[in-house]
Amino acid sequence: MNAAIQSLTERGEYSTGWSKANKINLWARAENGEKAYKLLNNLIGGNSSGLQHNLFDSHGSGGGDTMMNGTPVWQIDGNFGLTSGVAEMLVQSQSGYTQFLPAIPDAWEKGEVRGLKARGNFTIGEKWANGIAEAFTVRYDGNKDSAVFTGSYKNITSAKIYEDGKEVQVTKDTDKDRISFEADVGKTYTIDISETNINELKEQASTFLNQLHPDLINAKNELQTAIDLSSKELGTVLTKVKLMDQLYRSYLNKAENIYYLTDKDNLTYSQIDTLYNQLRKLRKTLLENTGDLEDYQNAENQFTDLSAQLEKPMANRIISFSKDSGVITGNDRTLTLSKSSDAKDFEIRYTTDGSIPRHTSDRYEHPLQLDNKENTVVRAALFYNEQRVSPVYTKKYIAKSIKIQDVTVSHTEDWGNNYVKAGMIDQNTSTRWASKNVDASKPLEITLNFSEKETLDQMNFDLFVSKNNGIGAFEIQALSDGTYRTVYEGTKMGNIDDKVGDIDGGSGGYHAYYFAEFPETTTESVKVILKPGFLGEPSLYEIAPLYTGVQADGAGDTSELEKMIRSAEEADRTADHYVNAPQTLKTAFEESISDGKEQLKASQDIIDSRTEFLSDRYHRLGFGTTDKSKLNSLITKAEQELNGDYTNDSLYQLKKVLSDAKKTADDENVKQPAVDQMTEKLQAALNSLEQGGFSETSIPAGDLQGSGKWIQAGDFKATEADDAGPLTYKFNGNSIQVSTVKGDDHGVIRVTILDQNEKQICREEIDTYAEKRIEGAELIQKDFPEGSYTIQFERVGKSPNGSPEKRGWVEVGTLKIRTEKKEIVDRSQLEEELTICDGLNKDKYTEESWNKLQKAVNSARELLNKKDEETCTSEMNDKANEVRNARNSLQEIKVDTSALNDALKAAKSISREGYTEESFEALTQSILEAEALLNGTYTQKEVDEKTAVLIQRMKDLRADKTLLQEKYNKIKDMTQGNATDASWNDFTRLRELANAILTDPNATPAEVSDILNQLNTFEFAYKDDPDEGGNKDPQEPLEPQNPQNPNSGNQGNTNTSHADTSVKTGDSTPLLLPLATMCSIIGLLYIMHKKRKLG
């Protein structure tokens, strides 16, 4: 095994895709998880000899037979080998027993896997945390009833094994850390090892306590308690605390970026406030240790997204120095500073005395001249107004380097006279030391000796890097009191990823640079120890010990910050502009006060950031002077953009917001929150401007139609075949641009464009030969009238400019098609609203509200008549909203229904009995109509009309006089006859009253009934009545003589003892409300003041 490992070591790590996969498996078999993991990362890194973006493994090295048209070929060996290698890292069984987790790297500190197969047809599951196993599962899936399983893992003999909750007895081999048991087919056995390695876990946790960030005191206390109690939860607590430590260190690394963000980063200040509040909440949770493991796992995912938002704007926050730190040599002492073109809104401010640049520091306007006699420390940062928006960049320029007397190397073999150890201390960057046949598994020491004690605080390394050379972890030790003590530790000095400049001659390598800064130390000797694991044979151009004399940044001036904190704490939180401000802003304001207090002992750059951050939120809340400069600047920009070639819709939205913005800018009493909100709205409108005129679509080459001899080569369709035929694409537009590849092995291509009638409008033959390969070169660009077209590509042959042996490839890349952009205006909402308005009844609404609606409607109809190019959908929808608001604001006339309701009450109280059928039916119909009106919508006029009709119907009620008329007809011609004068007089009075009632159209049923009853019950008194001194039988009173029929007997008598019972013509019960009274009330109600209601 040792020989195999040595062979693998000498083969190195650089190789093609399939070879990397092979080495992963081999290093896993050697149980070296770190090597396997490193190769795994190299394989999935996405290069010409690893996994591509589509996850296909590639076999290529930049050219030659392993490349096809510049694209590395796919070799599936690497894909299969990768998955095999990962499985080998997780479980192995080639030795006759199953090894659990044989080669997991430190990076896989925790995990769980299920479904892996071990020899013997055992299905394996594994779960681990903190690099220590917690449980394994085993299921036998063979064709026997049972089989013996043997498993191996550290201290596994102390584990407990269960099947379906019942403990299983096993055979233990303590010396070999193995257990064996009989496994029945189909049953799952759980090996619980969670408590087995508690001592190892306690040792690991105790070690981590010393590594835990000192700010996480509460987390440290929790972990210490779990260690002291040997808690079953120690593993979970340790996992959580490790995650907290990782999160907190990431927070400290990324959180400072929040103070650099501005509204120039496609972020609003509200969004920046939200990000800041999230960061502060995370910090509080970590420091107070108020979450559990799941909380911090969720926080880790959230922080990943948050970090991306913080990191993205930093791409344009870089200041470049024309000279790197180091010794100033020669007469060229000019130093220039530059920034990204995307940082045009920011300015560089700098210092040359080592102090931190502030908003009052010098603005960089021209190159600086370095002093070649004195050391110079140049520090620079980007500023946006008074806000620092970048880290502070520092370069240290040394007038004179420290002279090294001699150098020794622990590995003496090198590559000859041109690569001796003196080459790395001769102050000549064209010479270098190169080790030979060095053992990468052992440290390599480089010792620098001075002629006398020297003070230094920095060492610069200029190292040689290539695919096969690189230096990883290292440390610097300084001799003090006879002992070398570590003053600096680095995780990586440099590899091919850190290369600078062009390749160094024919060496296949490049320069890379590393600058190590450490506390000032005085010594006569320094050791540079390259730790095991370096790549290939270390080689250095130059090592330069330096002394800059610049002290570490101490505590800064806090006067401005303390003043700002006092102002913030004294701010009136009952003021309207504070109360009505967004909660995110208020939270950020209060948090920034605490933030500032936490940093009162920090360096000046931190103090300045907190001061500006707090000041900004103080002013945005409306405290202090209102600043309209950003708003006014945007207003100027918006007015300029109104003349730009944008869509009508986006310009319309901009005009709306711009109008409001100008009103805000002109308002002398406006507070900062309102200004900021308007600034954000105007910026959003500017950001939403959409290019008008045309739209451009990119068509990938893969969408083109052609024969199988046109192959896909990366982003291009390519062919070398004479009979490949045409490659075509149909499109609509007015312009097309096509890319291609040019090279010394490329030929001639014919491009033809046909219109929709197959008429040729363009035909060109283009030679794509070039001495150097150019991908994405323009093949053709043509403009034509808007329409439908077909473009065709055909290979003509080899280029006359190329070598005959070349294949004459032609390639077609992305098609960029431009189409005229016609804005189609959607008028549907406005048309629908106008249709609703057309159905409204003017009489129902007040004149003022109706006129407002009509004004909006008329304006809307004018807008509808505009052409599409004169308006836009947003304007239509806004007008629809305007009409809708006017419609919803219509004020209905207030209708007084009290008279109608009183009339209804009176009408409904009248009984049908005693009235004519016709008059009562008319009243009933009027009641129904009145009730229907009140149940719907109505105007005052309609209510008044119904009230009048109902009253009239009550007046028009006619009593039923049929029986009374019949009675009257019988008695109207009666004469006195033998009746006494007194009774005759009473009778004639009744008869006259009956006649009067008959002739009275307003007579009531009660009056008719009453008189009829009186007539039917009336009895005459006769002159011979015993009561009158006569002898007549009182049961047979004498009747008056009917002059028409003297022999009529009792006919004509109103009532005799032989007469029929009187007949009633109706209910004789008096009406509840006498007509006269009823009419008086109704009349009074009717003439009451009419009130009108709104709505």
List pLDDT tens digits, range 1059-1072: 333 323 333 333 33
Closest C-alpha to 351, from 340, 338, 365, 364:
364
The residue ranges of DSSP E strands in 757-814, in sequence order, are 760-767, 774-797, 810-812
What was the pLDDT predicted at 1085? 42
SS3 240: helix
User: b/e per residue, 162-191, with b = 16+ CB within 10 A?
Assistant: eeeeeebebebeeeebbbebebeeeeebbb
**For residues 810 and 802, what is the distance between their CA atoms, to the nearest angstrom?**
13
**H or E segment at 659?**
helix 648-666
pLDDT computed for residue 62 by the predictor: 45
> In one letter, which amino acid is 412?
T
In whole angstroms, what is the distance from residue 2 CA to residue 772 CA?
A: 48
Q: Using CA atoms, how far apart are residues 274 and 582, in angstroms rounded to an integer?
A: 11
For residues 683 and 632, the answer to whether their CB atoms sit within 8 Å is no
Residue 68 has pLDDT above 80, yes or no: no
CA 349 to chain centre: 36
C-beta of residue 247 within 8 angstroms of C-beta of residue 286: yes
| Percent of the chain's residues with pLDDT above 90 | 65
- Judge contact between 646 and 657, C-beta under 8 A: no
Q: What is the pLDDT of residue 464?
A: 96
Residue 823: phi and psi, rounded to 5, are -85, 120
Sign of torsion, CA 964 966 967 969? positive
Place of tokens 């070169």: 777
Residue type, 422: A
Give the C-alpha separation, 633 to 21, whole Å: 59
Helix (H, G, I), strand (E, B) or coil at 975: coil
The amino acid at residue 487 is V
Strand locations in 57-131, DSSP E? Answer: 58-59, 67-68, 71-74, 91-92, 98-100, 111-118, 122-129
Contacts of 752 (CB under 8 A, 6+ apart): 760, 762, 763, 791, 792, 794
* Residue carrying the six token digits 């320069």: 511
Which residues sit opposite 458 in a β-bridge?
Answer: 517, 546
Show the beta-strand stretches assigned E in 849-903. none
Q: Is-contact 126 136, C-beta < 8 A?
A: yes
User: Is residue 543 a contact partner of residue 493, using CB atoms and an 8 Å limit?
Assistant: no
374 pLDDT band, cuts 50/70/90, is confident
127-138 pLDDT, tens digit per residue, is 999 889 999 999
Which pLDDT tens digit goes with each residue over 746-802? Answer: 999 999 999 999 999 999 999 999 999 999 999 999 999 999 999 999 999 999 998
Rounded-to-integer distance, Cα 357 and Cα 351, Å: 6
Encoding tokens for residue 37?
């993991």
On whether the CB atoms of residues 525 and 447 are closer than 8 A, the answer is yes
Q: How far is CA 895 from the centre of its chain?
A: 52
Question: Please, which pLDDT band fits residue 398 given cuts at 50, 70 and 90?
Answer: confident
Classify the phi-psi angles of 996: left when phi > 0, otherwise alpha if psi is within -120 to 50, otherwise beta. Answer: alpha
DSSP state of 353: B
Two tokens, residue 102: 């044989």
- pLDDT tens digits for range 275-292: 999 999 999 999 999 999
Long-range contacts of the stretch 713-717 (C-beta < 8 A, 24+): 713/68, 713/69, 713/70, 713/71, 713/811, 714/69, 714/70, 714/71, 715/813, 715/814, 716/69, 716/740, 716/741, 716/811, 716/812, 716/813, 717/793, 717/811, 717/812, 717/813
Query: Is residue 899 pLDDT above 60, yes or no?
Result: yes
Token pair listed for 732: 């609509």
Q: Are 140 and 131 in contact (CB under 8 A)?
A: no
Structural contact between residues 599 and 646, judged by C-beta atoms closer than 8 angstroms: no
**pLDDT at site 230:** 82
Contact between residue 855 and residue 879 where contact means Cβ atoms under 8 Å apart:
no
> pLDDT (tens digit, 9 = 90+) per residue, 635-663?
999 999 999 889 999 999 999 999 999 99
Which of 3-12, 220-229, 552-561, 744-753 has the weakest average pLDDT?
3-12
Confidence class for position 1045, pLDDT limits 50, 70, 90 = very low
* Phi and psi torsions of 787, nearest 5°: 175, -170
> d(Cα 140, Cα 302) in Å, to the nearest integer?
41
Q: How far apart are CA 577 and CA 860, in angstroms?
A: 37
Q: Could you tell me the two tokens for 523?
A: 């010594």
Backbone angles phi, psi at 697, to 5 degrees: -120, 135
Q: Which whole number is the average pLDDT over 524-547?
A: 93
Work out the end-to-end distance of the chain between its first and last CA atoms, rounded to an integer number of angstroms.
97
Predicted pLDDT at 60: 65
How many angstroms from the chain centroid is the CA of residue 426?
A: 58
pLDDT reported for residue 1071: 38
The yes-or-no verdict on residue 1091 having pLDDT over 50 is no
- Distance, in Å, from the CA atom of 590 to the CA atom of 558, rounded to the nearest integer, reads 19
Q: Mean pLDDT across the chain, nearest whole number?
A: 88
The whole-number average pLDDT for the span 541-552 is: 86
- Kindly state the tokens that stand for 985: 């007089």
53, burial (CB in 10 Å: exposed 0-12, middle 13-18, buried 19+)? exposed
92 touches 69 (CB < 8 A): no
Strands 146-152, 98-100: pairing kind: parallel
Lowest-pLDDT range of 368-372, 458-462, 882-886:
368-372
Is pLDDT at 495 greater than 80 in this prediction?
A: yes
**pLDDT tens-digit map of 986-1016:** 999 999 999 999 898 888 888 888 989 999 9
Output the pTM of the full model: 0.62
The CA dihedral of 997, 1002, 1007, 1009, to the nearest 10 degrees, is: 90
pLDDT band (50, 70, 90) for residue 859: very high
Torsions phi, psi of 759, nearest 5?
A: -85, 135
Q: H or E element: which one contains 145?
A: none
Q: What would you report as the CA-atom Rg of the chain, rounded to the nearest whole angstrom?
A: 52
